[in-house]
Structure 1
């Protein structure tokens, strides 16, 4: 029998309990016949104002991952989607590979969309070589993001970390702050700008920013959703969330 609403695909999405942006942004980008079903990783201490806090956040995520995936698997998903990004960049390319393998092992071999790999695919599609990055992280998070992209051969011109004090407060970053950050990291030699952090509200602003910057602005939630759709043979074009979903 085919699911009446998810008749094309049912996505299992892993997200932190503190995240209030990724679910509504994914929902806004829905296409007919594709549904998202969330497992939440319990974050008891969301303080991330310093590097120790960022490390502690990852410890909590890793400790709860098995239970989260087990819960998602009870609704029999077709594919797994990461609704958080820091873990997918941590320890560079090899760290992302190991993380994907972990989710595949826990899910019985399902495909996995991660923010890190989605951004890699998008940058290669756009032919970008020199990039700038915006994150909500502290320096240790920024270092891991830069490590990931540098190992792939991209020239990382700048990483602007917003050092948000808590995991919840990432969702409070204003549009004005994000606009100013985009302008700050932009340069004539930068081919594309990447935004990390699934709890930053960026998909619609990225679509707008591409018009006034004249270059790709890759919002991680849009890129991850794009990867999930395309990996599953779903070619629907979606307007309002950046050229990646609109044109590719």
Structure 2
């Protein structure tokens, strides 16, 4: 079935009140989170990480649950993301959010370093807000722990992975291994088990990186990463928690939380 997307429709006479009030449930701030419709895990992870006094406002922009069998299928997914991101920003702005989060890691790497920072600048311009994305958040985490050699664990095909490699290489890191799971659809990404992801983490570890980063916010990797830091005695970062941690810290929210890795519990 083909979906026909009409975008946002606004009725004549509509107004936009920009008067801000303190949110009764979120007096410390409101975070707007954009994520693709099929991404079911990142929304719940970020809700579980939400400190008292912070509100998460989530917008699930349209992306089909694409069947994935080749590089081109991932390219189509990314084209759908590009087509629908701006409308997602418009919807979240009506909640008068304080900070905007792109809760999808792959888009933040598209086009390597240049493409990533161009997207960041674009989102900041149309939202008129500070924006946190996966690429810069991961870089922040690597610099914090002093990692230079990194391994990536992804649900992707090489067409997406190469963008992440290009980004990190341009930013001064050495990517020593990429463990791509080649998932069959976006929902298939969300079905990967703890045991499968733990095994993939150990395959990353065989390359002896300074740190491991999981990409693909629809992978249920937060608990795996939290546990793997204890097994491997090195930083293991899950993309969703890294993004949310970075957003909180940029907002001046320094609350610490166990269960989501060393960044949230110690930094």
What range describes the TM-score normalised by the shorter chain of this pair? over 0.9
Q: Structure 1 residues 21 and 156, CA, compared in 2 at 3 Å: closer, same or farther?
A: same
| TM alignment of 1:138-153, pairs within 5 A | 138-153=157-172
Matched, 1:55 2:75: yes
The aligned counterpart of 1:181 is: 200
The aligned counterpart of 2:15 is: none
Deviation at 1:68, TM superposition (A): 1.1
Matched, 1:119 2:131: no
Matched, 1:19 2:62: no
Distance 1:139 1:198 in 2: 17
SS of equivalent residue, structure 2 residue 101: strand
| TM alignment of 1:9-88, pairs within 5 A | 9-88=29-108
Q: Structure 1 residues 92 and 188, CA, compared in 2 at 3 Å: closer, same or farther?
A: closer
Distance 2:99 2:133 in 1: 12
Distance 2:208 2:215 in 1: 20
8 A contact 2:235–2:262 mirrored in 1: yes
The aligned counterpart of 2:227 is: 208
Specify the structure having the higher radius of gyration (Cα). Answer: 2
The aligned counterpart of 2:246 is: 227
TM-score, L = length of structure 1: 0.97
Distance 2:31 2:63 in 1: 22
Where in structure 2 are there 5+ consecutive unaligned residues?
1-20
For the aligned residue pairs, the C-alpha RMSD in angstroms reads 1.0
Of the structure 1 ranges 181-190 and 29-38, higher mean CA displacement relative to structure 2 is found in: 181-190
Distance 1:68 1:198 in 2: 17
TM-score, L = length of structure 2: 0.90
Deviation at 1:44, TM superposition (A): 2.8
Distance 1:131 1:114 in 2: 19
Matched, 1:165 2:184: yes
Moved over 3 A (4+): none
Q: Number of aligned residue pairs: give it.
A: 247
SS of equivalent residue, structure 1 residue 145: helix
Q: Residue by residue, what CA displacement relative to the aligned partner does 1:91-120 show, whole Å, maximum 9, x if unpaired?
A: 111111011111112212x01110111100
8 A contact 1:18–1:46 mirrored in 2: no
Deviation at 1:194, TM superposition (A): 0.4
Q: Residue by residue, what CA displacement relative to the aligned partner does 1:118-162 show, whole Å, maximum 9, x if unpaired?
A: 100000000001111100000111111111111111111001111
Distance 1:45 1:183 in 2: 29
Counterpart among 110, 118, 124 of residue 98 in structure 1: 118
Matched, 1:130 2:152: no
Distance 2:98 2:254 in 1: 17
